Amino acid sequence: MHAFDTDVSVDGRVFVGDNEMRGSSSSGELLAPLPNIRGSAFYAFSDKLSTFATLGWMSANVGEWSGSFTYLHWRLHYAFSDRWGLAAGT
C-alpha cells in the first residue's frame, strides 16, 4: 500500500511600476491511499542462469488531476559460483 501526501499553496501578487498589490493566497493538504497492484515472478533456467521480473501499477485521482504509474523491473542473473554472480536488467 502506498499513500499520496501533498501540500499545495498558491500566492498571487500584482506589480504596477514600483507598486506591489498583494493578491489572495490559498493552501490545502491531501493524504489519500493509492491503489497499488504488484506481481513478481522467478524462473531458473538452470543452476547457474535465472530470471526475475516485477510488474506493478498505481494510480491517483485528485479533483481534476489524475495519473497512473506502471513499471516493469526485469533481471537476468548468472551465478559463477555459490557466492558470486552477475545480473543485468532494467
Q: How confident is the model at residue 58 (pLDDT cuts 50, 70, 90)?
A: confident
Residue 32 Cα distances to 5, 64, 68, angstroms:
7, 15, 14
**Collapsed DSSP state (helix, strand, coil) of residue 81:** coil
Q: How confident is the model at residue 73 (pLDDT cuts 50, 70, 90)?
A: very high
pTM above 0.75, yes or no: no
Please give the pLDDT value at position 61.
Answer: 73
